[in-house]
């Protein structure tokens, strides 16, 4: 808060006039002298001091209201993000959905059941997102960052997840039929109850995947899969999986 400082009374004009270095500067000295008297007079008005205090008080009130309304602003931001997502539902392209989804996830908002079918979401970052029962059918999510996300009972049929980071992802009961998981990172992913029929998993990192309760892998291609768990490829081949360098 600004302290109100009392101004000193200006010196008499004859004394000030003698300080002018030359005659041509005298008008400027006179103007300055007049403004000093005006400032001195206003400085002694109690109204001016009151207005200063009211100004500082107004700033304090504005700060209080800013923080008091922060919850409403956050709700409005989330509402606008959901509008972007829902208005583009079932359509191709991005339509601002990448930014909207990342913003909601960053704020800890659940994305359960969101419909992102056919969307272009290349490189999207949804680490630790709750995407249970979401619809990712035919989505283009190449190089997506989905580490530790929950995609239980979701649908990722024909999804393009090439090079995606799916470490520690929960894919329990998820449909990944005809999905492209080429060179994706599935380390420690939980595939219990998932289906991988006709999925492309060439060069996919399978280190530590939970596969014993996989529902179906018929037609899935595991050519050059990296770090498969012991016994997995033998089991997969016995259940109709392929090992072909090309489609």
Residue identified by tokens 């959901």 is: 82
Domain limit, last residue, from 68, 103, 131? 68
pLDDT (0 to 100) of residue 12: 74
Residue 243 is assigned to a structural domain of this protein: yes
Which residues make beta-bridge pairs with 120?
A: 140
Are 60 and 96 contained in the same domain?
no
pLDDT (0 to 100) of residue 26: 65
Are 108 and 54 contained in the same domain?
no
Are 97 and 204 contained in the same domain?
yes
Tens-of-pLDDT digits for all 247 residues of the chain?
455 556 677 677 666 666 666 666 667 667 776 777 666 666 665 555 555 655 665 666 665 555 555 557 788 999 999 999 999 887 888 889 999 999 999 999 999 999 999 999 999 999 999 999 999 999 999 999 999 999 999 999 999 999 999 999 999 999 999 999 999 999 999 999 999 999 999 999 999 999 999 999 999 999 999 999 999 999 999 999 999 997 5
Q: How many structural domains are present in the chain?
A: 2
pLDDT (0 to 100) of residue 109: 96
CA distance linking residue 135 with residue 141, whole number of Å: 13
Are 109 and 63 contained in the same domain?
no
CA angle 76, 154, 143 (to 5 degrees): 80
- Cβ-based burial of 235 (10 A; exposed 0-12, middle 13-18, buried ≥19): middle
Q: Which residue range forms the structural domain that includes residue 57?
A: 13-68
Residue 175 is assigned to a structural domain of this protein: yes
pLDDT (0 to 100) of residue 1: 46
Decide: 147 and 164 in contact? Cβ < 8 Å.
Answer: no
Q: What letter does residue 25 receive in the DSSP assignment?
A: G
CA angle 141, 206, 221 (to 5 degrees): 75
pTM above 0.75, yes or no: no
Residue 84 is assigned to a structural domain of this protein: no
Are 44 and 155 contained in the same domain?
no
Are 131 and 182 contained in the same domain?
yes
CATH number for the domain spanning 202: value is 2.160.20
Are 47 and 111 contained in the same domain?
no
Decide: 123 and 96 in contact? Cβ < 8 Å.
Answer: no
pLDDT (0 to 100) of residue 70: 57
């Amino acid at each position: 808060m600004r302290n109100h400082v009392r101004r000193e009374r200006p010196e008499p004009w004859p004394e000030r006039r003698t300080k002018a270095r030359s005659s041509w500067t005298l008008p400027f000295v006179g103007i300055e002298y007049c403004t000093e008297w005006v400032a001195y007079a206003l400085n002694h008005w109690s109204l001016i001091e009151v207005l200063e205090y009211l100004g500082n008080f107004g700033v304090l009130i504005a700060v209080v209201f800013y923080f008091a309304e922060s919850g409403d602003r956050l709700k409005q931001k989330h509402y606008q993000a959901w509008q972007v997502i829902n208005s583009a539902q079932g359509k191709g392209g991005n339509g601002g959905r990448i930014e909207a989804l990342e913003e909601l996830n960053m704020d800890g908002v659940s994305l359960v059941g969101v419909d992102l079918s056919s969307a272009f979401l290349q490189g999207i970052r949804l680490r630790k997102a709750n995407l249970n029962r979401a619809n990712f059918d035919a989505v283009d999510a190449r190089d997506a960052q989905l580490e530790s996300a929950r995609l239980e009972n979701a649908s990722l049929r024909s999804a393009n997840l090439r090079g995606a980071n799916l470490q520690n992802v929960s894919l329990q009961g998820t449909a990944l039929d005809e999905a492209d998981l080429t060179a994706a990172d599935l380390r420690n992913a939980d595939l219990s109850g998932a289906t991988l029929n006709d999925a492309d998993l060439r060069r996919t990192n399978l280190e530590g995947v939970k596969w014993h309760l996989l529902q179906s892998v018929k037609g899935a291609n595991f050519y050059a899969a990296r770090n498969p768990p012991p016994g997995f490829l033998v089991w997969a081949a016995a259940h109709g999986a392929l090992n072909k360098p090309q489609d």
